[in-house]
Structure 1
Amino acid sequence: MTASSRSSRPPTPHRPDPRGTGLAPLMARVQDGDHDAFRDLYDHSVAVVHATALRTTRSPEHAAEVVQEVYVHAWQRARDFDLERGPVLGWLVMLTHRRAVDRVRTETSARLRDQRDFHRSDTSTPDVADLGVARHEASRLRIAVRGLSEKQRTAVTLTYLQGYTVREAAGILGIPEGTVKTRTRDGVAALRDHLGAQAA
């Protein structure tokens, strides 16, 4: 069974593992090209991956497509995973978040383009200055987030951008809640310092 056909299955795993327990040995086998291990990895993690995609895209259709893309990537680029940088489920969630955000941006751009085309003959025009400010602020925030350490970026992404509770984020990452709180607090403080310095 190929990664593509496997990842296109509905997100209803037989043996869900929301905390990601036991995924590291499976991932090691996946890195060696083990199809059975990939099937088990999918079954254990797809519930969390699908929930993350749906939470970001707000669209069952787009979420399903993101899930498929994530598992195709996970199979094809399994050797990119490094357990020392974080747990398997955390890696899959980060991949999902990035893919989902890209999908939302693409859809938003297409929708805005259609709206501009539709209203092109309208006498009213959007405030270009306001649009420019919004894009600038979004760009500043993306740059600031990229400047965080990977651990801080993951914690901030899960708790602030994805909307997971501290307890849920701790379960996904396989670390204590206190550690999530610390990384999130430090990450937010670093973002404030960075954005404040740019505004000064």
Structure 2
Amino acid sequence: MNLLEQDVSPRPEQARDFLVGLLLRTAQGDHRAFSEFYGQTARKVSGLVQRVVVDHELSEEVVQEVFLVVWQDAAKYQPAMGTPTAWLMTIAHRRAVDKVRSSQSSRNRDHRWATSAPGAYDVVLEAVTAKMDARFLIASLACLSALQRESIVLAYFGALSYREIAEELKVPLSTIKSRIRDGLNRLRTQLEPA
């Protein structure tokens, strides 16, 4: 039984020290410490993210992203700069706000596209640009693993939802989300100008 599971409530500094220890061990690649850190903090993160994002599925994605950041950046945590909980909640809040902004931006873009006047652009230029973009994108897909490529192709070219892809490939939903997120990150790196 760990310190935070005991019947006696730990003093705040004991709880803080316990979480600091978990983060330090996580920074060294300790999966058990990360799992324990997740168990101790996930409810707070989920609550904050749900209040900011509102949409349940998007909230789950954000929580997953937050803990991925914790796993990857645990070594960046500096106890002198604040508590582990404050560090974690800052990451969670930033990710949640980014998700809301991204989602709103996407809706605004879709709305502008849907309401733009027909014929307000050069059809030939649009067709040439689309073909060039498609060729470049197809060439860029080669940088992905076969599993990432398959998931992304089903999502973006097959117009399937995460859940539909998971059912089609008989893989857990979280695995599909991870494959697509990691693949898109790799594509972004590939497609961004150097």
| TM, length-normalised to structure 1 | 0.50
Structure 2 unaligned blocks of 5 or more = 119-194
Q: Distance in 2 between matches of 1:71 and 1:117?
A: 35
The structure 1 residue matched to 2:86, chosen from 84, 90, 94, is 90
Counterpart amino acid of residue 121 in structure 1: A
| Residue of structure 2 equivalent to 1:81 | 77
| Residue of structure 1 equivalent to 2:115 | 119
1:1-200 equivalence runs, <5 A: 21=16, 22-121=18-117
* CA shift for structure 1 position 74: 0.6
* CA shift for structure 1 position 94: 0.5
Instruction: Identify which of structures 1 and 2 has the higher relative contact order when contacts are C-alpha pairs closer than 8 Å and 6+ apart.
Output: 1
SS of equivalent to 1:66: helix
| TM, length-normalised to structure 2 | 0.51
- The size of the alignment, in residue pairs, is 107
Counterpart amino acid of residue 115 in structure 2: H
* CA shift for structure 1 position 37: 0.6
Please list the CA deviations of residues 45-95 of structure 1 after superposition, one character each: whole Å capped at 9, or x if unmatched: 000011111111111111100111111111111111001101111111100
Larger Cα-atom Rg: 2
Please list the CA deviations of residues 84-128 of structure 1 after superposition, one character each: whole Å capped at 9, or x if unmatched: 101111111100111111111111011011111222239xxxxxx
Q: RMSD in angstroms over aligned alpha carbons?
A: 2.2
Q: Distance in 2 between matches of 1:117 and 1:94?
A: 34
| Residue of structure 2 equivalent to 1:154 | none
Counterpart amino acid of residue 88 in structure 1: P
Name the one with the larger helix percent: 2
